[in-house]
Structure 1
Amino acid sequence: MLKRISVRGYIIIAVGVVALIAAGLYFFNVVQVTPTTQTKKGVQLTQNAKGQYQTVIKDGRYLVSAARGITATSETNTLDVKNFESSLLDLSKSHFKTGRYIFQEGQYLSADKVSSLLARQGKDHSDGLNPEDNGKTDNSRAPIYVQTLTEQDFMTKEGDQLKLSGMVVGVAMNSQDAYQKEQYGSTYYQSISKEDRIAYGKKIAPKLLKEIRAQKGVGDNVPIVLAMYENAPGDSLAPGSFYSQATSRKGDDLSAWSDISEEAVVLPKESTSSSSLGNDENNGFTNFKTDIANFFPNIAGATAVAHYKSDKLSSMNVTVTTQFYSQTEIDSFTNYVAASALKFLPNSVPIRIVVQTANEMQAILVRNSDDKNFTVTML
């Protein structure tokens, strides 16, 4: 049951937030949707919130990706599942402006095509982006470099129709490849160096571009951005990040690769960390963690993932795990967490806080960069 919570004033629990929780998005962007019915035919658009894309509704239903679910089932770190797609959408906004373009889930690379692209090269998968198996079972084996990819389409209106006017394809590259020497056997891990990962991504990019342009409806004149993402190891507490991009304006031409400066830092930082990135946020988060632990006796842990772009904090995701024995405990603690977060956590970036037990989520607190208070949803 949803409740209203008062945190430094009256807070409205946004219905849009609940919908986005159900969708499993890594961060929250509340979007107002134009009312439609499932019997309505043709293409409709959502009404976009400021800074967000309009999206496509077809015959009264949201138009889902043609390769829906592949990223979720292929990524080994659940944090990468969320961060890969949401970060790609943020990157897309620098190429295709939200006020001009309409976002459409990828429709040109089918599930079968994406699966074939992710396969090893061979007689059954001549389009495979991963190297042919060399038969080795040690560190001399040919690893799986390309773990998954996702397509985002950007449309413009042409009369009553939508025209494909741009495309962004994210390619998730492994920094570590998990494999088995025999079916149902032990899992082994093969590290992939930064140099090998970057070089292999550049090597397969022209082949991937050719395959994308060969899909019906894409052609030679649609601008295509290829964005390379480094997956985090499976046991990492922080997701990976995008590290490079190149653009094809026409045909098989591909611009020089440009670096993308993104990084995720886990807080509290380990004392052995040599990087100064996140030191200021680490101090504030440590004070926040101490403050809520002093208020409530059963805190099992509190961690945060701070996201940086060009060494500047862009967002923070916090997880607080504890044990509750009554609804009043949940209500009181969540109120206190919101007040403490306003006091100790950064006030200039979006922050999402999840309060949970070991078994279930209890509350979600969200504050956008221009908000003065947290929006709280009790679950």
Structure 2
Amino acid sequence: MKKKAAIVISLLMSVLLISACSNSSDNNGGSTNTARTNKTTSKKGYQTTGKTADSDYQGVIKNGKYKTSRARGVGITQDADNMLNLQSFESGLTSLSKTQFSPKKYVFQEGQILSRSTVENWLDRQSGDNPTGLNPKDNGQKDAKKRTPKYIQQIEEQDYMNDDNGKLSLGGITIGIGMNRKDYYQKEQYGATYSTDISQDEIIKQGRIAAAKILARLRKEKGVTNDTPIMIAMFEQAPNDSLVGGSFYSTTLSKSGNEINNWKDTHLSSYTFPATATKSVPNDNDETSFEVFQNKIKDFFPNLAGVTAQGQYKNKTLQGMKVNITTQFYSQTEITSFTQYVAQAARTYLPTGIPIDITIKGADGTVQAFLSREDDNGDFYSHVFSSY
């Protein structure tokens, strides 16, 4: 889960800070939270986005435009059936990268080495026309237990740049590899959707095979040297009907060459709040805190369609939480008052010492308000979106 670190969210928060002067709410039970202004910094030949917190990365702007990934959009296309997977994948990858590439030392740049066509070919099955496919050849079977599934679902590259007197150079790379727990397929075009289950052992085995191939291929790419640090993070996709996104389960760091000497377990897992009958959260106190928060805000307004959350744990310790509230409010004053109350209730009842994001949406999916808190700050920044 992001820790206000994902670049996309950092950019979003920058927009919110700029627009907050026209319609924002910073009510935190009597205290006011003043956010830092995001400043663009000029360099020789490029600019950086600046950052809203010391824990954020600065992004790269070239010729006045944010430098997007060369493979931009591939993840969205491959993972559209469960956007929670995509969100958990992207934000979690950036958070893990901080363990190797500190935001104080490196500048973040969207992947510039792997092209869109390269990633698409790697995610496809191996065939005569596509020898670089990381997924195995189709054996022609249609039965769920007999067919050869696709193991690799998603690949994302992140580049971390050294800034030497205004000149950028590649300092390291992070590669995220998303693995299927279920591979969805159709026996005929436009027909019903079926799925093949993939065991945990097979996920780990096939993931490490793919990681070794990707590492060797990256070392041959232009601009990547034999001693460029390359971090690889393995992600297990959640099923399409899951209420939470998947989790990263292991990482490795290649400091040089093509050999992978060891893997480290992340001990990360995602859970939904309120807990389900089949999957309870690791810590009962966290569940109790959420239930109290949920009941308080449901009692405040009658027009609530739902209050849920996704929490990420490391072992049995909660690392962060994303709360989603669906409303049926019709007036701007109702939304504003509700947002102010949610900020107070979240500060009082939700677990402390962790980053929390709260999104308030209308029944049509429109975002009405957004609240966010860093782990080292008890106050929530809040913004109510105008209806005009």
The alignment's TM-score, normalised by the length of structure 1, stands at 0.90
Structure 1 residue 327: deviation in Å? 2.1
Look up the match of 1:21.
Answer: none
Identify unmatched segments of 5+ residues in structure 1.
Answer: 15-29
Relative distance call for 1:271 and 1:158 in structure 2 (3 A) is same
Q: Which amino acid aligns with 1:63?
A: K
Distance 1:264 1:369 in 2: 18
Contact 1:288/1:344 (8 A) holds in 2 = yes
- Preserved CA contact (<8 Å) 2:26 2:380: no
Equivalent residue for 2:107? 102
Q: Which moved more, 1:161-170 or 1:129-138?
A: 161-170
| Letter aligned with residue 62 of structure 1 | Y
Structure 2 unpaired stretches of 5+: 1-21
The more displaced of 74-83 and 125-134 is 74-83
Q: 1:159 to 1:326 in 2, by over 3 A?
A: closer
Counterpart-to-counterpart distance in 1, 2:160 and 2:324: 34
**How far is 1:344 from its partner?**
0.9
AA in 2 matched with 1:72: I
Aligned length: 360
1:6 maps to which residue? 27
| Aligned pairs for 1:247-266 within 5 A | 247-266=253-272
Aligned to 2:339: 334
2 CA distance for matches of 1:53 and 1:34? 13
Alignment partner, residue 85 of structure 2? 80
Alignment check: 8 A CA contact 1:4 1:12 kept: no
* Dislocated runs of 4+, deviation >6 Å: none
The one-letter amino acid of 1:119's match is: D
Counterparts of 1:305 and 1:52 in 2: how far apart (Å)?
A: 22
Note the C-alpha offset of 1:12: 5.7
- Residue equivalent to 1:64: 68
Alignment partners' CA distance in 2, 1:92 and 1:210: 20
* Alpha-carbon contact 1:4-1:13 (below 8 Å) kept: no
* 2:18 paired residue number: none
RMSD value, Cα: 1.9
Matched, 1:278 2:283: yes
Q: Please tell me the residue identity of whatever aligns with 1:293.
A: K
Match of 2:49 in 1: 46
CA distance in structure 2 between the partners assigned to 1:377 and 1:186 by the alignment: 42
Q: CA deviation at 1:31?
A: 7.4
What residue in structure 1 maps to residue 9 of structure 2? none
- The one of the two structures with greater contact order (alpha-carbon pairs below 8 A, sep at least 6) is 2
AA at the equivalent of 1:341? A
**Shift of residue 44 of structure 1?**
2.1
Q: 2:271, 2:281 within 8 Å by CA — same for their partners in 1?
A: no
Distance between the aligned counterparts of 1:78 and 1:246, measured in 2? 26
Is 1:123 the counterpart of 2:163 in the alignment? no
Pairing 1:177–2:211 present: no
- 220, 223, 237: which one aligns with 1:217: 223
CA distance 1:71–1:31, change in 2 (3 Å): farther
Partner residue in 2 for 1:343: 348
**Alpha-carbon shift at residue 276 of structure 1 (Å):** 5.3
State the alpha-carbon separation in 2 of the partners of residues 337 and 161 from structure 1: 45
Equivalent residue for 1:319, pick from 321, 324, 328: 324
Q: Secondary structure at the match of 1:54?
A: coil
Q: Is the contact between residue 210 and residue 252 of structure 1 (CA under 8 Å) also seen in structure 2?
A: yes
Moved more, 357-366 or 3-12: 3-12
Offset of residue 313 of structure 1: 1.1
Deviation at 1:199, TM superposition (A): 0.8
- Contact 1:41 1:58 (C-alpha < 8 Å) held by counterparts: no
Contact preservation (8 Å) 1:41, 1:60: no
